[in-house]
Amino acid sequence: MEKIDGRPYASRPELMEASGYSRATLAKLWRDRESNGHPPQVTVDGVMRWDLENWLEWSAGYQRARRESIRPVDRSGNPDEELPPVEQARVLGLERSAIAQYRRNPPPGWPPPLRTERNGRGVIEFRTRRQLWEYADNASRAGVAGRTAGPGPEARIQRAVEAMTAAPDRPAGVVARELAAEYGQSPVTWRPIVTEARKRLRSQ
C-alpha cells in the first residue's frame, strides 16, 4: 500500500480488501461522491488512491446513515429527559422487546441506566435521550470490548437484515464478520443468521 506523508493510501483493489465491497459498489460510491460525501482521491503513477483512514471513517458514517434511514433515530425532545424502556425503543426505532434483550445481553456501547425503579413486575431502567443518541452514533464503531453476549435471536436477524439492506452486494462472510465485531459472538455464529436474513429479504 502506498504511503503519502506517512499515511496509507489505498487503491481500489485495496479498498475492496479492506471493506468487503465489490468493485462495482466502490465505483458507484465514487460516481455518487457529490451526494454521499465520498473522500477525494489522489493519483499516484496513474493509479487512483484514497487516504485509507479517512475513507474507513467516512464508510462507517455512510453505513450508519444508511442504517438510520432504515431504522430512523428520533432526534427530537429534551436530551436530558429520563426515558423508560418503551420510550427508549421508540427513540432508537426498535421493538420494545429489543430493550429487554439489551438488558440481559447488552450490545457493545449500550449505556448503563441513569437510574432504576422497581415495580411489581421487576426493575425499570431509565436512560436519557442524550445517552441513546450517543449510543446510536457510536454503535457502528463499537468493538466487542470483552463482551461475549449479543442480542437475542430475533434481534440478531433484524441486525443482519439492516446490514444487508444497507449494502446488499456484500458477501455474507464479510457481513457476518462485521456483525460479530459490532455485536459480539463469532462470525461462525452470525453466518447462518445472515443466511436467514437474506432469505427474508428475498421473500419480501
> Chunked in runs of 10, what are the mean pLDDT values of the chain (204 residues)?
88 86 86 90 92 88 71 86 92 80 80 89 90 78 34 68 74 79 72 83 70
pTM above 0.75, yes or no: no
Instruction: Say if residue 22 is in the same domain as residue 42.
Output: yes
Beta bridge partners of 10: 50
Distance of CA 64 to the CA centre of its chain: 6
The continuous run of DSSP H or E covering 138 comes out as helix 129-138
Beta bridge partners of 42: 49
Instruction: State which residues form the domain around 195.
Output: 153-203
Q: Hey, what's the cell of 53? A: 483512514
146 inside domain: no
Cα end-to-end span (Å), the chain: 41
Structural domain total, the chain = 3
- CB 187 within 8 Å of CB 175: no
In a domain, 75, yes or no: no
